[in-house]
A = this chain, B = another copy of it.
Amino acid sequence: MKYYVGIDLGGTNIVAGVVDGDYKIIAKASTKTNCPRPEKEIAADMAKMAQQAVENAGLTFDDIEWIGIGTPGIANSSTGIIEYSNNLGFKDTPMVKYITEFIGRNDTPVYIENDANAAAYGEYVAGAAKGAKNAVCITLGTGVGGGIIIDGKIYAGSNFAGAEIGHTVVEVDGAQCSCGRKGCFEAYSSATGLIRMSKEAMAEHPDSLMNKMAEEKGKVTARTSFDCMRAGDIYAKAVVDKYIKYLAAGITNTINIFQPDILCIGGGVCNEGDPLLLPMKELVAKEVYTRNSPKNTKIVIAELGNDAGIIGAAFLGRANG
């Protein structure tokens, strides 16, 4: 059997995994990223985690086909350079070169890719988007991430900075987004956007159950509005309805552009399940350009969770042809 190493480089953790040919993670190793610190130190720890994961799997690098890395920021998969990463403080970081040096095996290829793209590729090879020709993955987390698979390959754009579906404006002059624009999909459909809308409703309706619950829990979370809606609070329901409306708008936009076989959504907010998904799908079905066509995009929930990034990274050797 062949084995592959995937490294998920995050702002908080470095996680390396050994993945087998059936897309199963058979061993892992992780450490803190400890940003900010020199890029070479981070690379050294990434290599160490890869080595440890291989050891944990009871293997040696002779068993490893290649190493793939998912990283925040702009990862040039052709040159192996992370051109820019705000989170990590990287600028033109020659990550593939570093890892090759630290691992010390010139015959083990090393690949890099943006983390959201790698995670989308993970869902494509082994998760909810399996079997698609074209797929788009949207992750509803602190931000709204996007990953695009076209004809079985990652589409990252000509400058490797594409797929920023979260940073498409769905409301001109709307809510402020972290990217500097106003009214981005992310500003409404991220967990952060949901919390903002909850707080706005709470300020407007001090008698909302959301205020009581937030006081009890000591904070407003992305679950506050959903929990209070289930408890019968009409203001919470209005927040959820608004959240779903914007989410459906952004998803419909994405389908109208890509008409993928599969649109996969993931991230913590998806744990809300049917109360989120059913009305969202209903709105999309009503609005999508091909609503009268029998061949519509299947909307599915991501299956791999945090493992998507490792599994996707582990198969980067196939991701770009």
- A residues with a Cβ closer than 8 A to B are 74, 83-84, 132-134, 146, 148, 150, 155-165, 167-172, 174, 179-181, 183, 245-246, 249, 252-253, 256-261, 287, 289-293, 295-297
A interface secondary structure, majority: loop
Q: In the complex, how many angstroms separate the beta carbon of A74 from the nearest chain B beta carbon?
A: 7
Q: In the complex, how many angstroms separate the beta carbon of A167 from the nearest chain B beta carbon?
A: 5
- Which of these, B162, B171, B179, B295, contacts A159 with CB under 8 Å? B295
Q: Which 9 A-B pairs have the closest CB atoms?
A: A157-B259, A162-B259, A168-B253, A159-B295, A164-B256, A158-B261, A167-B256, A169-B249, A161-B290
Q: State in angstroms the CA–CA spacing of A261 and B148 once bound together.
A: 17
Q: State in angstroms the CA–CA spacing of A136 and B71 once bound together.
A: 27
Known: A168-B168, A170-B169. A161 touches B289 (CB 8 A): yes
Chain B hits for A246, CB < 8 A:
172
Q: Could you tell me if B290 and A159 are in contact, using CB atoms closer than 8 angstroms?
A: yes
Q: Could you tell me if B169 and A252 are in contact, using CB atoms closer than 8 angstroms?
A: yes
Q: State in angstroms the CA–CA spacing of A94 and B309 once bound together.
A: 44
**Best-surrounded residue of A74, A158, A261, A295 (most CB of chain B within 10 A):** A158
Q: Could you tell me if A260 and B84 are in contact, using CB atoms closer than 8 angstroms?
A: no
Chain B hits for A260, CB < 8 A:
157-158
Q: State in angstroms the CA–CA spacing of A257 and B138 once bound together.
A: 12
Supply 7 further A-B pairs (C-beta < 8 A) apart from A133-B158, A156-B259: A84-B293, A150-B150, A161-B295, A164-B257, A167-B289, A168-B256, A172-B174
Known: A134-B158, A157-B259, A158-B133. A171 touches B168 (CB 8 A): no
Q: In the complex, how many angstroms separate the beta carbon of A283 from the nearest chain B beta carbon?
A: 10
Q: State in angstroms the CA–CA spacing of A134 and B252 once bound together.
A: 23
Q: In the complex, how many angstroms separate the beta carbon of A183 from the nearest chain B beta carbon?
A: 8
Q: Could you tell me if B133 and A172 are in contact, using CB atoms closer than 8 angstroms?
A: no
- With both beta carbons as reference points, the residue of chain B lying nearest to A86 in the complex is identified as B292
Q: In the complex, how many angstroms separate the beta carbon of A168 from the nearest chain B beta carbon?
A: 4
Q: Could you tell me if B161 and A293 are in contact, using CB atoms closer than 8 angstroms?
A: yes
Q: In the complex, how many angstroms separate the beta carbon of A133 from the nearest chain B beta carbon?
A: 6
- With both beta carbons as reference points, the residue of chain B lying nearest to A286 in the complex is identified as B180
Q: Could you tell me if A172 and B171 are in contact, using CB atoms closer than 8 angstroms?
A: yes
Q: In the complex, how many angstroms separate the beta carbon of A276 from the nearest chain B beta carbon?
A: 18
Chain B hits for A252, CB < 8 A:
169, 181
Chain B hits for A156, CB < 8 A:
259
Q: State in angstroms the CA–CA spacing of A258 and B291 once bound together.
A: 24
Chain B hits for A158, CB < 8 A:
132-134, 259-261, 295, 297
- Which of these, B84, B146, B164, B289, contacts A179 with CB under 8 Å? B289
Known: A181-B252, A249-B169. A155 touches B159 (CB 8 A): no
Q: Could you tell me if A257 and B259 are in contact, using CB atoms closer than 8 angstroms?
A: no
Q: In the complex, how many angstroms separate the beta carbon of A286 from the nearest chain B beta carbon?
A: 8
Q: State in angstroms the CA–CA spacing of A190 and B183 once bound together.
A: 21
- With both beta carbons as reference points, the residue of chain B lying nearest to A260 in the complex is identified as B158
Chain B hits for A287, CB < 8 A:
180-181
Q: State in angstroms the CA–CA spacing of A148 and B148 once bound together.
A: 14
Q: In the complex, how many angstroms separate the beta carbon of A262 from the nearest chain B beta carbon?
A: 9
